[in-house]
Amino acid sequence: MKTKIFCDIAELDKIRRFNKKKIVKGFTTNPSLMRKAGAKDYKSYSQKILKICKNKPVSLEVFADEYNEMKTQALKINTWAKNVYVKVPVVNSKGKFMGRIIRELNNQKIKLNITAVYTAKQTQKILKMIDKKTKVIISIFAGRAGDAGKDPVPEFIKSISLAKKFKNVEILWASVREPYNYLQAKQLGCHIITVPPSTIEKIEKFGETFDKLTIETVKTFLIDSKKSKFKI
């Protein structure tokens, strides 16, 4: 199975550039990326993204923490474009499982991206809330798990196995730390990996030999030492 590459970004200029790349099959955003990109009005900024990305899936996240407001935001976001996946956290900031809203939005045939997932147990709980028709992405945060000294691979293996019964469900490798994560995601059978722009550019260069990498590394040392005018 081929693992699709999504671009994890909210900066409009980069979205325009990476939307033209065939390797990029979709886009993911979150409130933190939106803030970093300088977004002031969430709706108008999201609509600018959707105006650029008309034919690829775009995940736009709710930012409310309570059920009623979260559902209101989700329903509104869903109306912005046909290619929108409404991004909902698996739990709120208090640790409460968002199963009710996942079930209700899924029942309304709204495409979802369930985010901030770390374990196969969470994946299992999500799968119990959804049907086998409406599209759902489950985003598992590999990098952040690794940052905490946890191995995310067993959770991916279990989650992918659980999701096999659901043809409408895709497991996404999120929180990338290096280009090699793409190969890991591919080997595990992840349907999608979402990657920052700089990492996508490195993935595009895959295939260089060790000899070439050695020479390029030494050249970098040489150039930097000359720029610094080092002497001994």
DSSP 119-134: -HHHHHHHHTT--SSS
Which residue blocks in 109-209 are alpha helix, DSSP H? 120-127, 142-147, 153-163, 180-188, 197-203
pLDDT tens digits, one per residue of 2-11? 999 999 999 9
Residue 195 C-beta-side C-alpha neighbours within 13 Å: 25
Q: Where are the domains of the chain?
A: 4-207
- Please report which confidence band the pLDDT of residue 1 belongs to, taking 50, 70 and 90 as the band edges: confident
Q: 4-207: which CATH topology? A: TIM Barrel (3.20.20)
Contact 182/3 with Cβ under 8 angstroms?
yes
Scored b (16 or more CB within 10 A) or e, 104-137 reads ebbeeebbbbbbbbbbbebbebbbebbeeebbbb
Query: How many other CB atoms are found less than 10 A from the CB of residue 196?
Result: 14
Q: Taking 80 as the threshold, does the pLDDT of residue 62 lie above it? A: yes
pTM metric for this prediction: 0.94
pLDDT tens digits, one per residue of 166-177? 999 999 999 999
Q: Taking 90 as the threshold, does the pLDDT of residue 232 lie above it? A: yes
The pLDDT assigned to 64 comes to 97
Residue 134 C-beta-side C-alpha neighbours within 13 Å: 19
Tell me whether residue 80 is exposed, middle or buried, using C-beta atoms within 10 angstroms of its C-beta: 0 to 12, 13 to 18, 19 or more. middle
pLDDT tens digits, one per residue of 22-36? 999 999 999 999 999
